[in-house]
Amino acid sequence: MEALRLENVSKSFDKVQAVGDLSLTVPAGKVYGFLGPNGAGKTTTLRMLLQIILPDSGNVHILGQLNSREALDRVGYLPEERGGYRKMKVHEALEFFGELKGMKRKDCQQKIDYWLGRFEMAQARTKKMEELSKGNQQKIQFLTAVLHEPDLIVLDEPFMGLDPINALLLKEILLEQKNRGAAIIFSTHLMDEAEKLCDSICLINKGKKVLDGELKTIKQNFGKKNIILSYTGTADYLKDSSLVKQYNDYGNHVEISLNDGASYKALLQRALQEADISRFEMVEPSLNEIFISTVTQN
Amino acid sequence: MQKFLTILRREYVSRVKTKGFILGTILIPLFMIAVSVLPAIMVLLKSEDQRRIAVIDRSGEIYEALYHSLDDSTETGIRKFNLRRQEAGVENLDAVKKSLADEIDKEMLDSYIYIPMDILRTSSAELYGRVVSNFQENERIEDAISRIVTETRIKRSGLDPEAVRQLTKNVRIVTFKVGPGGKEEEDRGYSFVMAYGLAMFLYMAMFIYGAIILRSVIEEKSSRVIESVISSVKPFHLMAGKIFGVGAVGLTQFLIWTIALGLISAYGVQVAVMLAPGAKGASLPSMPIAVLVSFVIYFLLGYFLYATLYAAVGAMVNSEQEAQQLQWPIVILIIIPIMFIMFIIQNPASQTSVILSMIPFFAPIIMLARIVVQMPPLWEILLSMFIMVATIFGAIWVVAKIYRVGVLMYGKRPNLPEIIKWIRYS
């Protein structure tokens, strides 16, 4: 079962291609990271899948339906541009958006009470939106994306502007939503968050897809393995270019990328000859590394 | 449809609940009454102050009569014109005038009147004062002197002033309006006032409700809430919900005003008689039902047309300041019929009037004025309504496209070729 499928979607603005021939699939019940540098076409793509703007060509299947507006009632969306009806009271604004998604007023009110409690904002219920802090306004706007328990949640830079505590809360809620069975697609350029949350990712650059798939597979396929080594003694072996391609030496802690064809055993043996080794660990490449190397190669 | 209603309800409730709406509903009619009635009341108000006036009567024939004639009293019951005779001969005239001017300067005197020796021949006198811009008082004094001079002349010629007054009495024309079916009705300028008043009302309503739409669109754009909304509802439904919602606010206000007006015409005279027994027998103008119905229809048609245009302006701009610069074509369209209104009221069936009332942007104000003054043939009314409805649909079709693209555009204001591109490609 797939929550979202884009087929060869393209969009240009004034002859500048924002998104070109993009295809991707978000499986149901998974967290999908939509990554890319600034101006890569992330927001344009997310807007197209909500039919805020229409693609020049290609198809958008949402929850199994092709270009359907009805399906959008089961989608929640947090736009990149943050804002709300400033003069409306918090609960009125939430009821309004809930009803726009086809919720009954009564269900709305129950959910609102639950979520405001969850965010420790119960006392803000009857406040006007403009009286809230920026961060709290953002939380209310996030609520409009999850209030109606959508099957697909689309979030454009959800971590932008959140403090660490609220970022943690957001992560927790996203995992809950995933466990409830919802698919989540979110754009970000914070690789740390993506790495911890995502089951799959898609990396786009200049409107084109450069990499996609399950995060695990991507990391395995990326091939390069790094070694972290803690030592006391000398470290002349680092200069051996047959073994070491690149390193970061912190004095008693060093991060090493092995040269192609070199074996980690050989490196360990060399190191043991020269120093006392207290830690020797092989680590997978970080998403950050994959991101930078893919985008700069591209 | 459900979403359209949700949008409509939000627009309606969020406006009707505000202090602005409640105040506006009360203040707008008060303001209109004030504007139309206050100047008249101000004029009728008796001035509190006594006027100290010196009179140099060189002819010697005017002062006595003038003293009796200017017997107005102030609110406190004393003589309003406190006249004092000032003797002066040929030789000391300039000196006397000079000393009176000094008195005026020292505020011991308000003004002085100089009546020359030969006033019966020259029909000319002079009034000097610190303030000479009070038309009412000037006119009062002028009338009094004028009548005295005339009567003196008549007496001199050996005629009886009373007989002359009878002979030269002015004729008064009483106007009757002949309505449908030849029904006659005395018209004391009501149809003029009503046509003018309703036209001004529509004129103001177009501006007020248009501005509400404009602000509403800009608010959603500038607060960036628009994207959340149109991820749930089609831009067209959002625009339609907004226009109908604000329209419902307008109708609510009308309903309140109509009920208030109904109460006033039902009980107003009784209340007036209670307050001032002299008002007995007075009657308030009543609005014929045909006028009321066409008023509501043309209000709605005009509202939908201009609200749609204002929605387009709102979608094109980023702020209210920018909107000021872009809305002038609409403002001109609203003002033009008001510029013609006097002509229309005086010549309701002329060819110009008929043509102007067929132009959809002018029809609400002009056709309504025609209906009040002289009911045009039914086919003309229906044709103008049909043209308006067709124009409204056309405007909605075009504006929906501008709206769809415009609400997501931030930054540079689009120019005309860009807007045409929006319309063609969206």
Q: Could you give all domains of chain B from N- to C-terminal order, each with its CATH number?
A: 2-37+188-425 (no CATH), 52-167 (3.40.190.10)
Does the pLDDT at position B61 exceed 90? no
ipTM of the complex: 0.80
The yes-or-no verdict on residue B306 having pLDDT over 80 is yes
pLDDT band at residue B272, thresholds of 50, 70 and 90?
low
Q: Which residues of chain A have pLDDT under 50?
A: none
Mean pLDDT, chain B, whole residue set: 84
Q: d(Cα B102, Cα A103) in Å, to the nearest integer?
A: 85
A148, closest residue in chain B (CA to CA): B232
* Cβ density class B251-261: b for 16+ within 10 Å, e for less: eebbeebeeeb
Q: Strands, E, within A87-199: which ranges?
A: 152-156, 183-188
Among residues 81-140 of chain A, which lie with CB inside 8 Å of chain B? 81-88, 92, 96-97, 99-102
Q: Are B70 and B144 in contact (CB under 8 A)?
A: yes
Q: Considering only CB atoms, which chain A residues are within 8 Å of B417?
A: none
Dihedral Cα B159, B161, B166, B168, nearest 10 deg = 80
Which of A96, A128, A137, A138 should one mutate to test binding to chain B, selecting the residue with the greatest count of B CBs within 10 A?
Answer: A96
Of A169-183, A196-210, B182-196, B296-310, least confident by mean pLDDT is B182-196
Q: Which residues of B touch A84 (CB under 8 A)?
A: 223, 225, 228
Question: Between chains, do A96 and B234 touch, taking CB under 8 Å as contact?
Answer: no
pLDDT for B280 equals: 52
What is the CB neighbour count within 10 angstroms for residue B347?
Answer: 14
Please report, for chain A, the start and end positions of each structural domain, with discontinuous segments joined by +.
2-214, 223-297
Q: For B143-167, what is the mean pLDDT? A: 88
| Most confident segment among A74-78, A105-109, B86-90, B278-282 | A74-78
Fold type of domain A223-297: Alpha-Beta Plaits (3.30.70)
Residues 6+ away with beta carbon under 8 Å from A109: A91, A95
Please tell me which of the candidates A52, A73, A85 has its beta carbon nearest to residue B230. A52
Query: In chain B, which residues have their Cβ closer than 8 Å to the Cβ of A102?
Result: 2
Q: B181 falls in which pLDDT band (50, 70, 90)?
A: low
pTM: 0.74
Residues in chain A with CB shorter than 8 Å from the CB of B230 are 52
pLDDT tier at B49 (50, 70, 90 boundaries)? confident
pLDDT digits (tens, 9 = 90+) for B352-392: 999 999 999 999 999 999 998 888 999 999 999 999 999 99
CATH superfamily of A2-214: P-loop containing nucleotide triphosphate hydrolases (3.40.50.300)
**Partner B, chain A 34-73, Cβ-Cβ below 8 Å:** 47, 50-53, 69, 72-73
Task: Specify the pLDDT at position A198.
Answer: 92
More confident residue, B182 or A205: A205
- Please tell me which of the candidates A53, A75, A82 has its beta carbon nearest to residue B408: A53
Quick one: what percent of chain B has pLDDT higher than 90?
30
Burial grade of A82 (CB within 10 A; 0-12, 13-18, 19 or more): buried
